[in-house]
Every structure is written in C-alpha cells, then in structure tokens.
Structure 1
Amino acid sequence: MFDALADARAAGLHAPAAAFAALVAAHASAGRHQDAVDAFARMADFACRPTPFVYNTVLKSLVDAGVILLALALYNRMAGAGCAPTAATYTVLMDGLCKRGMSGDALKMFDEMLQRGIAPDVKIYTVLLSSLCGAGRTGDAARLLCSMEDKGCPPDDATHNAFLSGLCKAGRVDEAFQRLQLLQDGGFTLGLKGYSCLIDGLFQAGRFDEGFGYYKEMLEKNVSPDVVLYTIMIRGCAEAGRMEDAFSLLDVMKGKGFVPDTYCYNTLLKAFCDVGELDRAQSLRSEMLQNNVAPDSTTYTIMICGLCKKGLVDKAMQVFREMGELGCHPTVMTYNALIDGLYRAGRLEEARMLFYKMEMGNNPSLFLRLTLGANQVRDSESLRKLVDGMCQSGQVLKAFKLVRGIIDSGVVPDVVTYNTLINGLCKVKNLDGALGLFKELQLKGISPDVITYGTLIDGLWRAHRENDAMVLFQNILRGSGSPSLSIYNTMMRSLCRMKKLTQAINLWLDYLPKKYNLSVEDEVIINARKCFEEGSLDKVVKELIKIDQEYDSVSSNPYTIWLIGLCQVRRIDDAVRIFRILEEFCIDVTPACCALLINYLCWERNLNAAVDIMMYTLSKRFIVSQAVGNRLLRRLCIRYRRRDAQTLAWRMHLVGYDMDVYLREPTKSLLYSE
C-alpha cells in the first residue's frame, strides 16, 4: 500500500487523506492497532494532513488497545495542530476514561467539550452517566439525566437502562423500580438489558423470589434471555450459596442451546473456592476443558486464591507455574493472591522475590532500560511527559510501542499489591519496611488509597508509634485537604484503644465541617463543642445525630467507636446512655459493641442493663459469642435470678441459637440443676 502511494507521489499525484483514513480504519476494525498507528504516522511522509475522522479512528484504536495515556497525548497534538475535535472525539476519549474508572477526568473532558461549543449527543450523555453511576455518584447521574431534556437531548432506552443499572449496582433497587414505573407510565418498554440489570440488582439484594418473578415475566413477554443474563443469575445464586439454584440455571441455559463461556464457569469456580470446596472447583475446571472452554487468567487466579485461603501455598505455586506453561499470563490479582498467601505462611523472602519478579515481568531488558536509561521513567508522571513529548514530535508509533511494551512486559504492581505487602510487614511489626514501601509506591507514581493510609496508621498505633501515626495523618491533611471517613474512623479507633477518648471525639468535631461543608463557626458545630466541653456527651451525640439526619447521612459511626472507647475507660454508664440514644434514633448498634457492653455490664454487676442489651441483640437476630452469652447466663444464676436466665435462654433458642451446642457444661449445670 505504501509502495503504491510512493509511486503515486513520484508521479506528482497527491495522496488523499481519504486513502489513509480507509487504511487506518481497516487496520483498527481488524484489531491491528499498531498497524493503524503506523499508517497514521506515515501520513506526514506524504505531506497528508490528518482529518478529524482520521484522528478519531486512531484515538478509538488506542483506547481499544488499552493505551489511554497515548490517546490523551494524541488528543493534545490534535488540538495543537489546529484540527478541531468533534463530538466523536470526546465520545471516544470519555468512553476510554470511564472504562478505566477515571470518571473525574471524563467530567473534565465533558466540561472542555462544552467550552468548545460542542453540544453533547445522547451517546456522550449515556457514557458519562454510566461512569458516574459506576463511581457511586448516582445523585450527579440523576441531575445529568434531568438536564438532558432541558438541553434538547432527550434520553433514549440505552440511557434509561444505564441509569437503572447504576441505581441497582449502588444498592438502590427500590429507587430503580420507582424510576422504572415513571418511565413505563411515559411509554418506556423494558427490554433484555433492562430486565438484566433489575434482576441483577434484586439478586444482589438477596431478593431472589422477586428476581425469578421478573425472569418469568420476561419469558412471558417473549423477551429472550442471553448468556449474559444467565451468568448474572448464576453468579447471584452462587454468591449467596444457593448452588442448587445456580446449577439448575446452568442446566436451563444449556437446554436452551447456550454454551456457558469462561466467565460463567469462573463464576461457579469462585463460589466453590469461596466456601473452600476445592475438589468440586477442580472438577468444574476439568469440565471446562472437556467442553473446550479455555481457562483464562481469571480462572487460574480464582484457583490460586482458593488454595492460598486454605493455606495450600505450594499447590497454588504449582497452579501458577502451570498457568505460565500454558501461555496464560498472570494478572496483578494473581500476584496479589500469591504474595498474600506467602506472607500468611510466613514465607516473607519468597513473597519479596515474587514481587520483584512481578516488577520485572517478561521483559527485564525493557524494565532496566526504563529505570536506568537516559530518559528514566520513574513514575506515571514522567511516563506521561515522555509520551506527550514523543507525540508532539511526531513519534506516535514509537510512543505506542513504548506504552504497549510496558503493558506487555509484565504486570505492573498496583496499589493493592503494595497494600498487601504493607499489611504483611505491619503484622510482623516491621514498620520501617512498611514505611519504605509506602515511599516507594509514591516514587513510582502510584497514589496511596484509604486502605494504604488506614493500614499504616493502624500499624503505627499498634506498635505504639503514636507520633509517626499523627505525622502521617497530618501529611494527609496537607496533601489532599481532607482524609476519608475511613481514615478518621481508624484514627478514632486507635485513640480509643489507647484510652484517649477526648482526642477521638475532638478529632470528629474537627472533621464535621469538612464532611458537611460547614463553617467552623456554624452554630451547630459551636453547640456540639460547648456540650462536649461541659461534659454532656449524650447531648453531643443527640446534636450530631440531628445534623446527620438533616444531611441524610446517618451512620452508627462514630458513635459505636466512642461507645467502645467509653467501655475501655470504664465509663460504663455513659456507654449505656449512648446505646439508649442510638436505640431511640433507630440507629443499629453493631454486634461487637453489644457483646463488649454486655461483658462490661456483667463485670459491673449491672445485670438488668446487660439483659436489656441481650434482648436488643435478639430483636436484631444477632448471634453473640459463646463466651458472652454463657457469662451473662451464669451471672444471672449466681445472682439468684435463675428463672430470668432460663427465660433468656428460651428466647435465645427461639431466634436460632442451638442451645445444646451453645451452652457450656457449667452454665447448663447452673441453669437446670435441681
């Protein structure tokens, strides 16, 4: 092709952009992404200026190849070359960003598109709406959906299905059905995708009867199920431990002529591995091979995870080696499972070696070239700059090969890998090693997440390195402006464990203005602080719960954390008052809190309150530990309240306690001896 174009150029003929557009499109549609980039790069040799269509085609090819970094660099070159991006440009890029979970970047791209005066079409709205739902931002998604009508772009069935799916995945199933009713009143007809997302939501919520009801309704309305729907239903049943239903659906699926794919088999494999039935999982893997369904990286990773959970690390390593022999490349999750398994088995050196192998991957020369060469790529920012510079200088093909080479060279450790290693080091009290890894991951351009910070802070507190924990917490404050709720909870638990309840409560009062976007001088904040300074903790809790209710953000934390802290400093009466307040406001107290409170009340000989809290656990159908229940029953008997103890034991039996097993011999003797 290029020879023919060269001959045409020699004859004085100009190579039209349409010829390159056709060539680029042909390579891209066939999945030959490198050839598509090569054809695009050769346009300059023929003095041919790329059109928006050509740019968009190459961008789509780059996104499909998984090199969004290069796609963004090429977009910058497109804008810099005076080629105006079109709606299709933004659709491609936003879709790529959303699929990588980069909803914030997708929103920035959306804003940039609006600034350029490009009106978004329904496809762009749908892509963005799906991304917002996927990020748990269903409120933003709902507002975006409402704005579509106002901007003259009414949503279509795909948009509505995307929103229904987002609500279901966020656990807001009832809201999804309310939305569906409104849509159906307006003439919306539920199709296969709509049924699939609703059934998925119902199954995930444990509402199987309703889910099967919608499946039956779908069949009655002649909406044909597909492999995806059956896999959704099989996964839902399997995850809930309803294996008979899962296999029944598998048989129905086969009976309708559908062939289970690798994903479907992986779903069942995971269910067996999760409950430790490794023999049945192995049998299912053999069935896959008999049915010519090829195992993939996920299949092997599931098996490796299952084996590691059972402590069978050597067998897991054997599966890992088999995986490589069959040409199935391990993923970051595979490595994470093995590294975690080795750490749990105390094989730290092997875990470290596996981590280094993971970094080196299948192309150590590339790894060394990138980390030791003149143009060092030490982190994601330096890689971005290098790729951007290559694109601006016309070296698009070279940039493509570089980024694809990094992807193909092995599995780049992610934040989960580092979290696993940091957690392992914290457990063996090697905090300096954990902090070293924390610095290393940042040097490599990986952003620590809430688990990284939470693990380190918890580890530092447990090692009595309070100052280091506070320094790390202050660094988060300086860096991101506001640590997550999870990190505040970790800090408060640690402070309470160290019997520093006052600091824990003050920490939460400092967090409240950030949580609700209030001024520190806001009246509710001042009132809460005043009550706390006056020593009226129950008033503080009531004030804070009212704020939570006002902002529709009621949670048992931080109150249950404080309740535990009060027990630890032996302020049991205050702890009981907090419990009563939470009960009054219908806020669930965790089983762990209830058990701890019962224990302390038994020690304080406040058996009436202990029985009240035990009755609360029965009303919630919590099962408290054998030690706690037996202690309470024995204390009642010893305090000459055997009839009360017998009544309590009977009520425990009624809510599902197996009292023959649960009661210890000394307790039985006290309860039932003449």
Structure 2
Amino acid sequence: MMKMMVCGLSTKLLNICIASFCKVRLLEKAEAIVIDGIRLGVIPDVVTYNTLVSAYSRFVSLDAAYSVIHRMKEAGISPNVITYNSLMSGATWNCLLSRSLDLFEEMLLAGIHPNLWSYNILMHCFFKLGKPDEANRVFQDILLSNLTPHPSTLNIMINGLCINGYIDNALMLYRNLRRHGFVPQLVTYNILINGLCKARKLRQARRILKELGESGHEPNLITYTTVMKYCFRSNKYDKGLEIMSVMMGKGYTFDGYAYCTVVAALVKTGRIEEANACMEQTIRNGIELDLVSYNTLLNMYCREGKFEAAYKLLDEMENGGLLCDKYTHTIIIDGLCKAGNISGAQKHLHYMKMMGFHENLVALNCMIDGLCKAGQIDRAMELYKSMETKDSFTYTSLVHNLCKAGRFRLASKLMMKCLRHGKKIPKATQRAVFDGLYSSGFTDEARKLWWKIRVARILH
C-alpha cells in the first residue's frame, strides 16, 4: 500500500515538473525528465503525455504533437478526450480545419466520446475560418447531445457571430439566452459592445453598456478601451478623452496600445502638445514602446514637419533592435510628400528598397499623389507605369490631377483602364472627366466613354 502511494505521488510530481518546463517552452528538458523518471521507475501516465501533446501542438507543430500518440500506445496508454482536444485546439490555432475535422472523426472511431470542450474547439474553428453555418450546427449538436453549455460555449457563439458580421443574430441569441436564465459574464458584455461598436450600432451598444452597469459587473479596461476607440473612430474625440479620464480616475493602468490610441486621436485633431504630454506619460509609467507606439510617435513628428526628430527616432528604433515595417517608412514618405519635399521622399523610397521593401503600394501611391500636387504629373505617370500593382487610389489620384491639368483625354483612358480591371473611381472624379471632355469639345469621346463604363459595370 505504501509503495503504491509513493509511486502515485512520484508520478504526480513528475507531471508537475513536466508541466512547468512546458509552460516556459523548455520541451527538451521536459522530455529529459520523462526519460529520467522511467529510469528511476516512475511510470508516466496519460496526464504526462497529454501535457506533452498540448505543448507540442502550441509551440512546435501539430505533427510533432500527433507523434506523441504513437509513444502513448507503445507505452500501453490509450489516448483520451483531452488528448484529442489538445490536438484539435492546435489544429484550430493554425487554421487547419480539415485536420481538426479528421481528428474529431478519429476520436469518434476510437470510441472516445467528445465532451463539451471538443465541441467548443470545433465551433471556434468554424467561426475562425468564416463558416458560421457549420459552427451553428455544432452548437445545435451540443444542445441535442444533452450537454449543458458552459458560459464559454455561449461566448464563443456570440463572439463568432459578431466577428462574421451577424451582429443582429448575436444580439438575438443573447436575448434568448437571458430569457432562459443565462447570466452573462463581463466578457459577454465586452464581446457585444465591441461587435456593436464595430457595426456602428451605437444606440444598442449604449443599451448593452447600461445593462452591464445594472448587472453588478464593473466595466474593466477592455470595456472602456473598446468604447473609447469607437468614439475616436467616429470623430467624437472629446467623448473619447472623457472616457480616458474616467479610466484614469478609476485607477486603471493603460497599456501601450491604449496610450497609442489616445495619441493617434490627439494627433488627428491637431492637439500636438497634448499628444506629446501623453507620450511622455507613457514613458514615465515605464511602458516599453513597441512598433505601433513608435509608428504613432513617428506619425506625430511627420505631421508637425519635424523630420529631424523623425529620423532620430528611426535611428533609435533600428539601434534598439526594433524591426521597422513598411508602414514605418510609408509614414515618413507620406510626410515628406505632404511637406512638398519630393526629393527627400524619393531618397527615402530608395533607402526603403535597400532595406528589402521592394514593392510597397501605399508608399508608391503617396509618391504619385505628392508628384501630382507638386505639378510633376509626367514623372507621376512614369512611376505609375513602373508599378507592378495598382489599386483604386493609384488611378483616382492620377485621373483627378490630370483633370486639374486639363489633360482630359488621357484622364479618360486611364479611368477606363481602371474600370476594366474591376477597380472603382469616385463618382465626383468620373464627373470631372465627363465635364472636362464636354467643355473641351470632345463630345463623341465623352459619349463613347459613357457607353464603355456601362459595359464595364455589366461585366463586373
């Protein structure tokens, strides 16, 4: 009896050690403990192998995780529902829907009954890949299997519907569940508020926010940040800053992302001094700036025309080992173009290519717009012809500026090329082309263009 207790305790200790190493991604050391344990006579159990399966599926690969099953069988241990749930979770994380379905079927064929979390993982996978109908069928299977849905199940369902654009269905489900006794968690309210804000249904978002206040739950950082972001996106900057003050008054600690959201809003409204003060507060609070934070600060300097400070910040980023992205360089190019420093923008575009960013559509669009505004339309056309990829903004910028220069026939040809490729040009710009052709005496060309546009619309 004593021997059995020691053995049981040893296996438990073995599993605790393995789990600790797996959490910090030291899988080699976890494997070494398994080997040492076997040598000492401590036999691994299903928990041991499930811990390894979970770690390999999260940190290495699904194939590496699946290979652990063969080791389990060789050791005479049968995989259980937790084993397969870990594998399915790993497949979902990597958006391998077919693998997740195969694993679910394999589990059924092995005679292992799925539990609630098996269905939760499968449902989440379908939502993640934009298949809400399949996810809803899984939800119906849960109800038909006489399994009691966990709050997480309902949150996955509501969140999935919101993400896939079915916000009204999510709201309807939430109301139905409440009528049947479902008590929403704070995360449920946050999911709905976020979904409603993104769908621009502010009145309903306010109603959910009011229900949250009446529920006894206290809004948290995520709640406030979600509403604050929506206020800024809706150009309700004062309301957003008011929410920020409420958050700070309640003692919430901002993260770098929240500070960047506020700084970006202040920059857009031209409140540069307040933006600077906010960035200084970020640094004083000991928050380490990430790439998004630096890009926000860079954007602020470029808007102010402080390019010396912008380049100094760029050097600071690179010297600190932070890898700049396309957006970082595009901010500088756009700022230089808007300041009329076309040669400086071209030099930075060349530097960007040297850094390995060869085709950056947004940066090239900024250059085309800058060249046009500087009256260098022919150079803008040369740049346009050299581009491998073009979008609606590329064509719109050129067509608009060709009209301003009175080159309506070239503008009409470019506009037709844009429409043939299935891209859109604003109606105001199209109207400028037509008006220009008529006023210049090119009546027949205007009629032909009108007819070609009708045909292009039918084809697309």
Pairwise TM-score range, normalised by the shorter structure? 0.5 to 0.7
Q: Which residue of 1 aligns with 2:430?
A: 596
Q: Distance in 2 between matches of 1:309 and 1:51?
A: 62
Query: Is residue 195–residue 214 contact of structure 1 (8 Å, CA) maintained in 2?
Result: yes
Pair 1:337 & 2:327 matched = yes
Query: Is residue 49–residue 68 contact of structure 2 (8 Å, CA) maintained in 1?
Result: no
Q: Distance in 2 between matches of 1:104 and 1:272?
A: 46
Query: Is residue 159–residue 192 contact of structure 2 (8 Å, CA) maintained in 1?
Result: yes
Q: Out of 68, 74, 89, which is 2:65 matched to?
A: 74
Q: Distance in 1 between matches of 2:8 and 2:367?
A: 70
Pair 1:20 & 2:21 matched = no
Q: Distance in 2 between matches of 1:601 and 1:156?
A: 63
Pair 1:128 & 2:118 matched = no
C-alpha displacement of 1:85: 3.4
Q: SS where residue 33 of structure 1 aligns?
A: coil
Q: Which residue of 2 aligns with 1:216?
A: 210
C-alpha displacement of 1:427: 10
Pair 1:199 & 2:155 matched = no
Q: Which residue of 2 aligns with 1:262?
A: 256
Indicate how the Cα distance of structure 1 residues 253 and 140 shifts in structure 2: closer, same or farther if over 3 A, else same. same
Q: Which residue of 1 aligns with 2:25?
A: 33
Matches within 5 A, 1:74-473: 74-79=65-70, 82=73, 84-103=78-97, 105-272=99-266, 279-304=273-298, 315-323=309-317, 330=322, 334-341=324-331, 345-346=345-346, 347-355=348-356, 420=360
Q: SS where residue 355 of structure 2 aligns?
A: helix
The letter for the 1-side match of 2:173 is R
TM-score with structure 1 length normalisation? Answer: 0.48
Q: Distance in 2 between matches of 1:96 and 1:307?
A: 43
The letter for the 1-side match of 2:322 is P
Q: Distance in 2 between matches of 1:142 and 1:136?
A: 12
Q: Percent identity?
A: 21
C-alpha displacement of 1:219: 1.0
Q: Distance in 2 between matches of 1:271 and 1:101?
A: 34
Q: Which residue of 2 aligns with 1:556?
A: none
Residue correspondences, number: 385
Q: Distance in 2 between matches of 1:268 and 1:123?
A: 38
Indicate how the Cα distance of structure 1 residues 121 and 272 shifts in structure 2: closer, same or farther if over 3 A, else same. farther
Indicate how the Cα distance of structure 1 residues 142 and 317 shifts in structure 2: closer, same or farther if over 3 A, else same. farther
Query: Is residue 133–residue 170 contact of structure 1 (8 Å, CA) maintained in 2?
Result: yes
Q: SS where residue 70 of structure 2 aligns?
A: helix
Indicate how the Cα distance of structure 1 residues 159 and 307 shifts in structure 2: closer, same or farther if over 3 A, else same. farther
Summarize deviations over 1:77-130 as a string: whole Å, max 9, x none: 433552543322333344344445555554444444444443332223223323
Q: Distance in 2 between matches of 1:464 and 1:243?
A: 38
Unpaired runs of 5+ residues, structure 2, are 1-6, 335-344, 369-381, 400-411, 418-422, 451-460
Query: Is residue 234–residue 250 contact of structure 1 (8 Å, CA) maintained in 2?
Result: yes
Q: SS where residue 325 of structure 2 aligns?
A: helix
Query: Is residue 256–residue 287 contact of structure 2 (8 Å, CA) maintained in 1?
Result: yes
Query: Is residue 313–residue 341 contact of structure 1 (8 Å, CA) maintained in 2?
Result: no
Q: Distance in 1 between matches of 2:204 and 2:194?
A: 11
Pair 1:43 & 2:44 matched = no
Indicate how the Cα distance of structure 1 residues 592 and 426 shifts in structure 2: closer, same or farther if over 3 A, else same. closer
Indicate how the Cα distance of structure 1 residues 98 and 340 shifts in structure 2: closer, same or farther if over 3 A, else same. farther
Q: Distance in 2 between matches of 1:353 and 1:50?
A: 54
Summarize deviations over 1:350-379 as a string: whole Å, max 9, x none: 224433xxxxxxxxxxxxxxxxxxxxxxxx
RCO greater where, 1 or 2, for CA within 8 Å and sep 6 or more?
1
Q: Distance in 2 between matches of 1:95 and 1:308?
A: 44
Q: Distance in 2 between matches of 1:463 and 1:351?
A: 17
C-alpha displacement of 1:247: 1.5
Query: Is residue 305–residue 337 contact of structure 1 (8 Å, CA) maintained in 2?
Result: no
Matches within 5 A, 1:642-653: none
Q: Which residue of 2 aligns with 1:53?
A: 47
Indicate how the Cα distance of structure 1 residues 267 and 86 shifts in structure 2: closer, same or farther if over 3 A, else same. farther
Indicate how the Cα distance of structure 1 residues 342 and 20 shifts in structure 2: closer, same or farther if over 3 A, else same. same
The letter for the 2-side match of 1:157 is P
Q: Distance in 1 between matches of 2:56 and 2:265?
A: 35
Indicate how the Cα distance of structure 1 residues 324 and 125 shifts in structure 2: closer, same or farther if over 3 A, else same. farther
Q: SS where residue 171 of structure 1 aligns?
A: coil
The letter for the 1-side match of 2:219 is P
Summarize deviations over 1:568-593 as a string: whole Å, max 9, x none: 49xxxxxxxxxxxxxxxxxxx97724
Summarize deviations over 1:270-300 as a string: whole Å, max 9, x none: 4445667665433211112233444344322
Q: Distance in 1 between matches of 2:239 and 2:261?
A: 13
Matches within 5 A, 1:569-608: 592-593=426-427, 596=430, 599-600=433-434
Q: Distance in 2 between matches of 1:603 and 1:79?
A: 74
C-alpha displacement of 1:342: 6.8
Summarize deviations over 1:329-359 as a string: whole Å, max 9, x none: 535xx4232354577633344224433xxxx
TM-score with structure 2 length normalisation? Answer: 0.67
Q: Distance in 1 between matches of 2:279 and 2:203?
A: 30
Q: Distance in 2 between matches of 1:62 and 1:264?
A: 33
